[in-house]
């Protein structure tokens, strides 16, 4: 994710309105979603971790890791964003704080996309090749190790980029993300980072989500190879719903980044890029809601609980006052 507030404050009234109203609108948009999103994230984590079967289910592990990542961003970076939208560039921040903020902003964003890209691939194994996870050794190499490698890679890669870069990083006293990475001035690094950590995961989500639908349809049509649709329906719905969220929210920004990398002038599509970057921050805020909606058994439990706690209509007994005449 990039800096979404490039406005400056001057004495011109029109420019002041742009620099004040737009950050204020962003503030309320994010705040309205942030609080319910935190509550939903905590609820989902409790639901998935408190139940032994759900906790041990392989298809839930990536979702649990993503929920923890979302929760970390919601309690760190997003409150900082809201405070910046209120204070603007008058908020004096230190170099180390800006570097930590920039690290969380981009590293966790890229890591989330790659984690779900792997989830898109793993769904094929869970549905069509579930025997690959039949032993503990197979589960380690095909399930736990890929998740661990993704987490380790993104933490180490961006930790070096932001804190031990061979190029000089710049401290920027204006803008929300007050930090600029010097390595991005190198075209080789920019192409590698953009393609591997941004474009490739989005393409993987598209390809493996669409291919999953095709494989399920073809498998159901083969009478001699029936598919247990009820058992894999949950995983399929969950994958497709979250894939749609990732593509809608991150796709426009990834597309513009790719065009700029291919030589599109920086002054072309500036307004669209700003809206695209603004949209990317909703991946954290909306992910818990989409995850919950993709769990039909959880929605059924919530509906049942609401019906049980709904106060019953109390009928007060009619008091008959009998008097002796």
- Statement: residue 156 has pLDDT above 60: yes
- Statement: residue 236 has pLDDT above 80: yes
Of all residues in the chain, what percent are helix, strand and coil, respectively (each to 5)? 75, 0, 20
The number of CA neighbours under 13 Å toward the Cβ of 37 is 26
> In this predicted structure, what is the pLDDT of residue 7?
40
Number of residues that this document lists for the chain? 325
Place of tokens 């197979």: 138
pTM value?
A: 0.86
Average pLDDT of span 67-88: 95
Give the least confident one: 153-157, 212-216, 318-322. Answer: 318-322
**CA distances for 92 relative to 7, 60, 76, 213, 225, angstroms:** 17, 41, 17, 51, 64
Average pLDDT of span 308-313: 62
- Backbone φ and ψ for 322, nearest 5 degrees, come out as -105, 125
Give the least confident one: 96-110, 139-153, 219-233, 296-310. Answer: 219-233
> In this predicted structure, what is the pLDDT of residue 224?
55
> In this predicted structure, what is the pLDDT of residue 237?
85
What's the CA gap between 176 and 85, in Å, rounded? 8
Stated as kind and residue range, the H or E segment containing 33 is helix 13-50
pLDDT classification of 248: cutoffs 50, 70, 90:
very high
Place of tokens 């954290």: 284
> In this predicted structure, what is the pLDDT of residue 146?
97
CB 83 within 8 A of CB 123: no
Stated as kind and residue range, the H or E segment containing 179 is strand 179-180
Domains and CATH numbers, the chain: 13-293 (1.20.1070.10)
CB 102 within 8 A of CB 162: yes
Q: What is the mean pLDDT of the chain?
A: 85
> In this predicted structure, what is the pLDDT of residue 24?
85
Average pLDDT of span 145-152: 98
Tokens read off for 214: 């095709």
**CA distances for 106 relative to 77, 111, 223, 237, angstroms:** 11, 8, 47, 28
> In this predicted structure, what is the pLDDT of residue 21?
46
């Amino acid at each position: 994710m990039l800096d979404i507030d490039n406005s400056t404050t001057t004495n011109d009234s029109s420019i002041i309105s742009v620099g004040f109203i737009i950050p204020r609108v962003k503030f309320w948009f994010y705040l309205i979603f942030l609080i319910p999103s935190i509550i939903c994230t905590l609820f989902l984590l409790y639901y998935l971790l408190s139940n032994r079967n759900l906790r041990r289910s392989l298809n839930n592990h990536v979702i649990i890791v993503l929920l923890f990542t979302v929760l970390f961003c919601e309690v760190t970076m997003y409150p900082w964003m809201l405070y910046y939208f209120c204070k603007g560039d008058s908020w004096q921040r230190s170099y180390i704080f800006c570097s930590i903020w920039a690290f969380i902003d981009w590293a966790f964003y890229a890591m989330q996309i790659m984690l779900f890209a792997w989830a898109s691939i793993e769904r094929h194994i869970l549905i069509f090749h579930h025997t690959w996870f039949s032993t503990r050794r197979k589960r380690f190499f095909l399930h736990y190790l890929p998740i661990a490698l993704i987490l380790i890679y993104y933490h180490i890669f961006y930790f070096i980029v932001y804190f031990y870069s061979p190029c000089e990083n710049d401290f920027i006293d204006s803008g929300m993300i007050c930090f600029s990475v010097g390595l991005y001035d190198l075209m080789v690094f920019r192409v590698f980072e953009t393609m591997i950590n941004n474009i490739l995961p989005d393409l993987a989500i598209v390809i493996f989500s669409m291919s999953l639908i095709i494989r399920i349809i073809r498998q159901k049509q083969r009478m001699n190879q029936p598919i247990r649709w009820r058992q894999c329906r949950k995983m399929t719905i969950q994958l497709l719903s979250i894939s749609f969220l990732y593509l809608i929210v991150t796709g426009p920004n990834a597309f513009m980044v790719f065009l700029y990398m291919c030589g599109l002038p920086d002054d072309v599509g500036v307004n669209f890029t700003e809206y695209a970057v603004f949209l990317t921050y909703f991946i954290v805020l909306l992910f818990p809601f989409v995850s919950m909606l993709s769990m039909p058994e959880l929605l059924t439990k919530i509906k049942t609980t609401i019906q049980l706690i709904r106060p019953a209509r109390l009928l007060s007994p009619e008091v008959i006052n009998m008097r002796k005449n």
